[in-house]
Structure 1
Amino acid sequence: MKQKKRFIAGATCPECKTMDMMMLYKEHDVEKVECMQCGHKMAQPEQAVQASTRQFEQVIGVFKPSD
């Protein structure tokens, strides 16, 4: 399956300071950003991904099978 990649308009690379060269893509359900100029990569830390996912979950009930 081909990976979908998008450029982020107006984004500046924190490493080489080049504008409009940052590319966003998903790898194993984690968003990653890579500079096409210098190759600098950034990814959202695993803890932040899990925290943002769990924040919006709601527990309706807990199933407890009887012994």
Structure 2
Amino acid sequence: MPVQKRFIAGAICPRCAEMDRIRSWEQNGIRYRECVSCDFFEQLPIEEQAAPELATRVNRPREEEESGDFQTVRILDPKGR
């Protein structure tokens, strides 16, 4: 069965700078890209599943945030009202 090559919409060739000329395909665990306008050709190994993202204060679940000790902030009126 022949490998199906697909064009990448909006991709710009790194060699000739032509848009919509790059096509890509995968074969035997390797990803290939080539330009149909020039002789650009690239092969990259297909990466396995990436390692899980490290937990930070930005992406941790909300339950962890709510378990901490919090104090209520009271805003005072400087005029004493």
Q: Is TM > 0.5 for Structure 1 vs Structure 2?
A: yes
Return the TM-score normalized by structure 1.
Answer: 0.65
How far has the Cα of 1:21 moved from its partner?
0.3
Higher CA-based Rg: 2
Task: List alignment gaps of at least 5 residues for structure 2.
Answer: 52-81
Alignment partners' CA distance in 2, 1:55 and 1:19: 30
How far has the Cα of 1:27 moved from its partner?
2.4
1:16 partner SS = coil
Over the residues paired in the alignment, what is the CA RMSD in angstroms?
Answer: 1.7
Task: List alignment gaps of at least 5 residues for structure 1.
Answer: 57-67
Structure showing the higher helix proportion among its residues: 1
Instruction: Map residues 1-67 of structure 1 onto 2, 5 A cutoff.
Output: 1-44=1-44, 46=45, 49=46, 52-53=47-48, 55=50
Where in structure 1 do 4 or more consecutive aligned residues deviate above 6 Å?
A: none
Query: Sequence identity of aligned pairs in percent?
Result: 31
Aligned residues: 51
Partner of 1:61: none
How far has the Cα of 1:54 moved from its partner?
6.2
